[in-house]
Amino acid sequence: MDVDVNYAQRLQRHVAQLAANGSSLRNQGAPGVVTAARRWLAGMNLLRLPREGCEEFTRRLDAETERLVGSFPARAQNWGAARKVLNLFLRDCLYNFYLRDWYGLAVLESFFEVPLDSYVAEALHRTPRGEDLPEWRGVKYVSREENALYQEIASEEAEELGIERVHLDLKYWRPAQ
């Protein structure tokens, strides 16, 4: 099926609704953060994501994270929460067949980050490489620098597993008992 621009935008809005929800943005400091995140993610121009390399992609991701933070209500302007929901959204766009094709996201898969939450942080702390990671205090306290440290360990773990780090969320989030 050929996806036209209007359909791709509707799909993107749908994925934004699923990624930014009461669970993914729980306890972030102010009402309205979910609505703000959904609106911002639905309007993000995914065609502008750089394809030149991981460093350029990360710089853009940092800039987009700052823009998303600015869209949040004043008491909820947490960098970590914005990055988490942005990473959830990008991952879900990658997993959506039509959006992946329409926006050419397959070539970016190796650049995508694992969305950080307590499950992922705890799992990374349990790895031999993760012993020196900063103590997990919660999503809203994650800084750009802490995120980079977690993503580095995630990259090493993913490489060992033969997957991209974005997929570690499937392994670590609410693991089967």
pLDDT cut 70: percent of the chain above it: 96
Question: Tell me, what's the pLDDT at 5?
Answer: 72
Q: 3-state SS of the chain: helix, strand, coil percent to 5?
A: 70, 0, 30
| pLDDT higher than 90, residue 62 | yes
Question: Tell me, what's the pLDDT at 30?
Answer: 76
| pLDDT higher than 60, residue 12 | yes
pTM: 0.93
For the beta carbon of residue 36, count every other beta carbon within 10 angstroms: 20
Question: Tell me, what's the pLDDT at 176?
Answer: 65
Q: Dump pLDDT digits (tens) for 72-88.
A: 999 889 999 999 999 99
80 near 116, Cβ under 8 Å?
Answer: yes
Q: Dump pLDDT digits (tens) for 94-145.
A: 999 999 999 999 999 999 999 999 999 999 999 998 999 999 999 999 999 9
Instruction: Report residue 29's pLDDT band, with 50, 70 and 90 as the boundaries.
Output: low
First to last CA, the chain: 39
Question: Tell me, what's the pLDDT at 72?
Answer: 93
Q: Which of 104, 9, 125, 119 has its CA nearest to residue 49?
A: 104
Instruction: Report residue 21's pLDDT band, with 50, 70 and 90 as the boundaries.
Output: confident
Burial status of residue 163 (CB atoms within 10 A of its CB: 0-12, 13-18, 19 or more): middle
Half-sphere exposure of 111 (CA within 13 A, CB side): 19
